[in-house]
């Protein structure tokens, strides 16, 4: 599990951040949100949200991972270093992990992420670990809307170079 993120996700993160900075033509602050969604629940929920035409902000970028438990904290800190304003880590509800206990690992790791982000001087609201089952399209949309609003009220991240 440790090796997979090295090549795939690091480049994806850079790509998504760049794509967002190019499309960020709006005047004023548009938060950039990056979501790591697990293949089995949260990504399926995002898929369903699209099919069901649930409305949520367009400044979300999604990176699909096989399990929320495989997201190394360094992926989250790197996303912030590349200019994300908020990062969502989304997995299956506890007890429903496709790999039995991956989301419990994600929960343990999220404590580490929160601590490192605070050492980096980032507000705790910028990172959220949420559970979202594949049927909860509206919950997915609501989580993104909430995060977007929260980020708009706290403003750009201190690592963000351009606004």
Partner 1 sequence: MSLKLCSEALSGCSGCEMSLLNTGGGSLSLFDKFEILHMPILMDHKYLGCNGGDGGIHIPKAGVGLISGGIRNEQHLKIAEEMRRQCDIIIAFGTCAAYGGIPAMMNLFEDKDLFRRYYRTAEATDSSLNPTQVIPPFLERTFALDEMIAVDFFIPGCPPHPDSITAALESIVQGKSLELPLLSVCDSCPAKREGKGSVNKIRRFVRNARYQPDRPVSEMRCLLEQGYLCMGPVTLAGCAGMNGGPPRCIDVRVPCRGCHGPVRKGGNQLMDILNALASNGIDTKNLPDRLSSLRFSGAHGRLNWRFAKA
**What residue ranges bind partner 1 (CB under 8 A)?**
72-74, 77, 105, 108-109, 111-112, 115-116, 118-121
Other beta carbons within 10 angstroms of residue 136's beta carbon come to: 19
Which backbone phi and psi does 13 adopt, to 5 degrees?
-60, -45
Rounded least distance, CB 120 to partner 1, Å: 7
- 80/140 with CB nearer partner 1: 80
* DSSP annotation of 161: -
Other beta carbons within 10 angstroms of residue 29's beta carbon come to: 14
- 63/113 with CB nearer partner 1: 113
- 55/118 with CB nearer partner 1: 118
- 73/91 with CB nearer partner 1: 73
* DSSP annotation of 83: T
Question: Which of 35, 33, 57 has its CA nearest to residue 156?
Answer: 33
Cβ–Cβ under 8 Å, residues 64 and 142:
no
Cβ–Cβ under 8 Å, residues 86 and 127:
yes
Rounded least distance, CB 122 to partner 1, Å: 9
Rounded least distance, CB 77 to partner 1, Å: 7
Rounded least distance, CB 42 to partner 1, Å: 20
């Amino acid at each position: 599990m440790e090796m997979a993120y090295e090549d795939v996700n690091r480049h994806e993160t850079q790509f998504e951040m760049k794509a967002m900075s190019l499309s960020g033509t709006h005047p004023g602050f548009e938060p950039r949100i990056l979501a790591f969604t697990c293949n089995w629940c949260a990504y399926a929920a995002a898929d369903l949200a699209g099919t069901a035409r649930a409305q949520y902000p367009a400044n979300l970028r999604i990176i699909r991972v096989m399990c929320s438990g495989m997201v190394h904290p360094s992926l989250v800190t790197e996303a912030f270093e590349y200019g994300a304003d908020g990062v969502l880590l989304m997995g299956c509800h506890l007890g429903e992990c496709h790999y039995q206990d991956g989301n419990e690992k994600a929960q343990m790791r999220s404590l580490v992420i929160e601590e490192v982000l605070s050492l980096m001087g980032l507000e705790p609201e910028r990172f959220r670990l949420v559970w979202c089952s594949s049927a909860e399209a509206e919950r997915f949309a609501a989580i993104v809307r909430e995060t977007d609003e929260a980020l708009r009220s706290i403003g750009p991240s201190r690592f963000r170079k351009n606004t």
